[in-house]
Structure 1
């Protein structure tokens, strides 16, 4: 994916991630008392298993995480895409 020169958002198709490759994903920490999100971090781990189009098993620092979105290391992380968004310029 590349950045748009007009709006600064990302456009293009993301690269595919295969099992055994590094991938970017989001780790979310919750507050135990209130249940609200305390911290969300974009990290890089190793894709271990693909359950379906929206469920992945990723290993990060010897812990296993089950996430719904992953991205190729060359593409923006899912957390970055959530904040910045995708380009909607008519030229693309």
Structure 2
């Protein structure tokens, strides 16, 4: 199944177009490799998705074309959630 479709059906990301945009920005990896929206997802794959200052790692448990909202969470298991350290911008001293 395509990555963008899996993210939408599983409701990890609400809309398929948004899933595609996130993939184009390089914010999704499958098993440690940067993924495109058209990348193939298989059961057992680990997806790491960067949402702002957080990285969510999920393992694919099941692939289904259509799923009810109540059953969508069964398609994946959250392995871990990491908060990224906020990097403070360096102040540039403009002495002239």
Q: TM-score, normalised by structure 2?
A: 0.30
The answer to which structure has the higher helix fraction is 2
The answer to which structure has the higher strand fraction is 1
Find the structure with the greater CA-based Rg.
2
